[in-house]
Chain A
């Protein structure tokens, strides 16, 4: 896909901070996977996190809504402190979409029911309304015709698009993508990335862990390079590709560009 990042900032809306992460730490046994990570995401921004495997990118995403409990550090979603006492985590999670590497669609539910279940059981919407929203979101990802299909009857790319529709239906303030295309065959990544690029353009706030350089260049406002549990460098993709501050960043970006190419 051609790079067509618009420099027009109007689509970002006001400079409201949607997510703030401060000095996040997490260890598994002896291994410290997050060693003090801090960053901010403003409304409408898309941030892409890259880095070698095992540097805590997925852990970071899961810590944001405390699906994994962080050891130390603070997290705010808007003005709600997620790490604060007595916070209603289920409410927090209902407002943050999460798209998994292996889709995790509910096996026993059709595409429509997968998208609808959160609306019915978490948001407690009436059935008609939930159905209408679910259909609209399936249409949004181009799968209205697959509403009655079970996950096993869908291709990987289709499953991931349903998963995105499932996240969208909850009208999240923010969507977290955990390597959304890495479990897909190369020929199926395109359809998922197209949906994600469109979302970014529509002004959705997104944090994406992915090695799809093409996507980063097309849609990311900022690229974050993580290694060894810390953020090494962050900035607009152009800047990181052209003049990175650290040789490690340059080396890593060169490597994944060779691996993943400029497709998208």
Chain B
């Protein structure tokens, strides 16, 4: 029963992380390459979704539209709220990665006649995405745990199941919560192990993805400098 409910958490995870990726990469690109008003908009997006607690976002997306006659299901609202939130964090990761790619790469691509978009598509992004994997793994293990927050707006995920049990069999509360904890231990560490394998498979000679976080960090510093 728990395992079945966990599938709902995994569904949430898949939805929100893909939404976060699909929105986060363009936001990062706009922040690095966009014209000024777009850059500001992208930064405002990132700032808002990173600065507001997940629960507040969940309530906004679940109850907010209903007030204007648009009723989203709790599941959809959760994917939107947590997915947009993740897009804020993911855009920061990808922005750092993009900025850590040496400028010479873009220059060389442009010098052979690639358009800016081609250079981003064929030269910058393939490198930046590889660099981003370790930081992205952190984001993964953080959002997989945050799927439990959907409980707050009544998504029928694993914690709701535990509540049913705990309400009926008082003495089973602790074992039930511990079981859920165990499930998540397996999911987070298992997920990280898988991502680690992916990272090694994609690894290229001379492309130090270990230590990539420092490079991304340096990219972020550059971003901070530029923003000042």
Please give the residue numbers on chain A whose beta carbons come within 8 Å of chain B beta carbons, in ascending order.
65, 67, 90-98, 100, 102, 104-108, 117-118, 121-122, 149-153, 166-167, 170
Contacts and interface: CB of A to CB of B under 8 A. Distances in A.
Contact of A106 (B108, B110, B113, B205): B108
Q: Which 6 A-B pairs have the closest CB atoms?
A: A152-B206, A94-B113, A104-B108, A98-B111, A104-B104, A93-B113
Interface stretch (B75-83, B114-122, B153-161, B163-171): B114-122
B206 A93 contact: no
B23 interface: no
A156 to B, nearest CB: 13
A100 B112 contact: no
A150 B127 CA distance: 13
Given A104-B102, A117-B112, 10 more contacts: A90-B114, A92-B113, A98-B108, A100-B107, A104-B108, A106-B105, A118-B113, A121-B114, A150-B205, A170-B113
Nearest to A88: B113
14 contacts: A93-B113, A95-B113, A104-B108, A106-B127, A107-B204, A108-B126, A108-B207, A117-B123, A122-B112, A150-B206, A150-B207, A151-B206, A166-B112, A167-B112
A108 to B, nearest CB: 5
B212 to A, nearest CB: 12
Nearest to A89: B113
Interface of B: 102, 104-105, 107-115, 118, 122-123, 126-127, 130, 204-207
Contacts of A151: 206
A105 B112 CA distance: 12
A121 B118 contact: yes
A160 to B, nearest CB: 12
A150 B123 CA distance: 14
B111 A93 contact: yes
Contacts of A153: 205-206
Contacts of A108: 123, 126-127, 130, 204, 207
Contacts of B205: 149-150, 152-153
Of A93, A94, A102, A107, most buried by chain B (CB within 10 Å of CB) is A107
B107 A106 contact: no
Contacts of A90: 113-115
Nearest to B110: A67
B107 A67 contact: yes
A39 B226 CA distance: 37
B123 A106 contact: yes
A122 to B, nearest CB: 4
Contacts of A107: 105, 127, 204, 206-207
Given A90-B114, A108-B207, A150-B205, A117 B122 contact: yes
Nearest to B129: A108
A215 B127 CA distance: 36
Contact of A65 (B111, B118, B206): B111
A122 B122 CA distance: 11
Contacts of B127: 106-108
